[in-house]
Amino acid sequence: MQALGLVAEYNPFHNGHRYHLQQARLLTGADVVVAVMSGDFTQRGEPTILDKWQRTQAALANGVDLVVELPVFNAVQPAHRFAEGALRLLNDLQVATVVFGAEHPEWNFDSLVAAETKFKASNFKDYHATYATQFNQQLSAQTGYSLTDPNDILAFAYYKARQEGHYTMNLLPIQRRGNDYHDQTITGKLASASAIRAAWSDLKTIKNTVPAATMNELAQLQRLPSWELLYPILRNQLIQTPVEWLQQIYQMGEGIEYRMKEAAQRALTYADFIRLVKTKRYTYAYLSRLSLYVILNISKAEHDRHQQVPYHHVLGFNQVGQAYLNQVKKQLDYPLIVKVNRDERDGRFNLDYRAGKLYQNFTKVEQDMKHAPIRTVKEITLTSE
């Protein structure tokens, strides 16, 4: 069986995702679709609107055959580490082609990656601009291209990850269809995930933008998972934890621990907290990710240790996905986790377990322990000759 790989957050799964999936199947002729999907927190460090099991169910109902979780130590990361972790799993799962949306699929991303090797580290020392801004300035100067759209940034990251990992899978960018990534308007059947999240309580407005499986879950949503709801936990953690301990948190540095601790003393809302911490040096996404690392108490040493032990946590499959797993499982280099037990909870899966426990503040549903993968039956369309 030839496998097609997708990297997704599905936050939530909408009509644009379904279109992308259908086009990927048509272009590759793949026998099976394997999606590596973020768990309960996104690349930007935000809690997902629906939990990973709900989003897995929607993916399986709309054409994905196998869903594997991207561990939190890769999922909640800048684009290059996010892409690196995803391709590492897809390579081990022996996918032939990885398909992803881009604003400019015609660009030669391999040549942009080659241009990056000429960058000078000394040029990234402007503390009045984010690393992303400085990176893009250098890239534009070298090549004339600007990576400003999130989908193009991820496309670049996939090509870079393939080169650095010496992977042989094909990379196939396809034109993203629908509204802009950050567009908040809903005018038809295609809308951005951020627009759908913003209008989550207006079911009449969003009903035509998402498939039935997503709509059913959104209709039952009582409150939107958000940092505002998690802020009391973050605030208490920052106030109670000594600065020297905060300095051990992954990605903490350059004195930002002092800003965060002082902001927590003063701010009663997450919005006010971020406003007090924010500088030109740090993006909102960076601060959101760092806030999650603080709550989960992820140290630099712990993060690096978990990076060394990747695994495949299976969230769901249909009979085609199950057959593919049976085909490749004996050749996998990384362990296959089908059900989380105590040994997994206390070992390699511990960071994801802690993230799931934090997300349980929204859903009240156990996210991992003894949770079996979702199993669905793939519908087969019969045609007469």
Q: What is the pLDDT of residues 258-279, one digit of tens each?
A: 999 999 999 999 999 999 999 9
Residue 381: predicted pLDDT: 39
State yes or no: 10 annotated in a binding site: yes
User: Do the annotations mark residue 286 as ligand-binding?
Assistant: no
3-119+145-224+307-375 has CATH 3.20.20.70 classification = no
Check whether 46 is labelled as a binding-site residue: no
Residue 116 assigned as binding residue:
no
331 with 94: CB under 8 angstroms? yes
- Positions in the chain whose pLDDT score sits under 70: 119-132, 178-184, 379-385
> Which residue stretches of 71-108 are H helix?
72-75, 79-92
End-to-end CA distance of the chain: 25
What is the token pair recorded at 198?
């913003």
* pLDDT given at position 120: 56
Task: Give dist(CA 100, CA 5) in Å, integer.
Answer: 9
Q: Residue 135 contacts by C-beta under 8 Å, 6 or more apart in sequence? A: 119, 124, 147
How does pLDDT run across 23-75, given as a tens digit for each residue? 999 999 999 999 999 999 999 999 999 999 999 999 999 999 999 999 999 99
Q: Mean pLDDT across the chain, nearest whole number?
A: 91
Sign of CA dihedral 334, 338, 344, 350: positive
Q: Is 20 annotated as a binding residue?
A: yes
| pLDDT at 182 (0 to 100) | 57
324 in a known ligand binding site = no
On whether 16 is known to bind a ligand per the annotation, the reply is: yes
350 is in an annotated binding site: no
Q: Where are the domains of the chain?
A: 3-119+145-224+307-375, 227-304
- pLDDT for 382: 32
pLDDT at 141: 74
State yes or no: 9 annotated in a binding site.
Answer: yes
Q: Is 11 annotated as a binding residue?
A: yes
Rounded-to-integer distance, Cα 296 and Cα 33, Å? 32
Q: What is the pLDDT of residue 272?
A: 98
Q: What is the pLDDT of residue 380?
A: 42
Q: What is the dihedral of CA 194, 197, 198, 203, to 10 degrees?
A: 130
